[in-house]
């Protein structure tokens, strides 16, 4: 199942041991583990059990591509580099990437964990919405988060409530960055990237606040003046 590990010429090289650990969470194609050596970090690794469910074309591409199963990591890394180039630092709405880690499940991406004051992982915005725990302050934090995304050159592929977590009075995107298309047009054309992100922001806002609990009327979209012209397009 894991030929890339079986054929390794370095069987005794140090690795993080995650195979028998319980994942903190599981996404569509990745597991998330606590870092065994640092509770402030998490490790994201590809879900090898999902590879067989991919189309034969994707499996063939993974087999012969020089990056193999791990090429999808590049989409994220490109955006962290774009953010570093544009902002000088990791912007507050992005989860902080801390590099790679060799694990017994293959290479992993190391990130800072977004935790609550009691030490547990921060809940997603989707969970907060389902539990009715989103108040006016959270709405303001989300508006600021969306404005920051629109002002950044980072490509956002998947913006939905379960990819966002609250952290210290702000929201952080923990997954869903990068252009996964064969032709990464949003990387090449900033105007196309901005328009794509604006649509995703409007869709997220409407999904989170379809009806005002007080006025029983649709909650208006925040006013993003720097993108007013794009917002007026169909």
Residues 191, 184: Cα–Cα separation, whole Å: 13
Which residue's structure tokens are 């992993």? 108
> Per-residue pLDDT tens for 172-193?
999 999 998 878 999 999 999 9
Cα angle value 160/166/170 (rounded, 5°)? 105
Residue from 50, 44, 45 nearest 1 by CA: 50
> Per-residue pLDDT tens for 62-79?
666 677 777 788 889 999
> Per-residue pLDDT tens for 79-95?
999 999 999 999 999 99
Residue 60: predicted pLDDT: 66
Residues 68, 3: Cα–Cα separation, whole Å: 11
**Domain 10-112 classified CATH 3.30.200?**
yes
Other C-beta atoms closer than 10 Å to the C-beta of 147 total: 18
Residue 230: predicted pLDDT: 42
Residues 193, 186: Cα–Cα separation, whole Å: 5
Whole-number Cα distances in Å, 62 to 68, 105, 136: 4, 16, 45
**If you average pLDDT over residues 221-234, what whole number do you get?**
50
Give yes or no for residue 55 having a pLDDT over 60: yes
């Amino acid at each position: 199942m894991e030929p890339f590990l079986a054929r390794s010429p370095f069987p005794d090289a140090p690795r993080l041991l995650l195979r028998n650990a319980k994942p903190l969470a599981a996404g569509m194609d990745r597991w998330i583990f606590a870092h065994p050596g640092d509770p402030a970090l998490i490790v994201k690794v590809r879900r090898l059990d999902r590879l067989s469910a991919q189309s034969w074309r994707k499996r063939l591409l993974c087999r012969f591509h020089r990056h193999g199963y791990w090429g999808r990591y590049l989409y994220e890394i490109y955006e962290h580099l774009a953010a570093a180039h544009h902002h000088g630092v990791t912007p507050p709405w992005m989860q902080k990437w801390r590099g790679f880690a060799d694990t017994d499940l293959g290479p992993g991406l190391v990130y800072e964990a977004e935790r609550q004051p009691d030490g547990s992982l921060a809940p997603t915005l989707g969970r907060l919405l389902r539990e009715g725990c989103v108040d006016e302050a959270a709405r303001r934090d989300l508006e600021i988060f969306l404005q920051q995304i629109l002002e950044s050159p980072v490509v956002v592929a998947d913006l939905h409530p379960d990819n966002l977590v609250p952290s210290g009075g702000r929201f952080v995107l923990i997954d869903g960055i990068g252009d996964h298309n064969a032709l990464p047009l949003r990387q090449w054309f900033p105007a196309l990237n901005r328009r794509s992100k604006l649509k995703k922001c409007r869709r997220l806002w409407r999904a989170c606040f379809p009806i005002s609990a007080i006025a029983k009327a649709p909650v208006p979209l925040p006013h993003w003046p720097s993108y007013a012209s794009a917002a007026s397009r169909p």
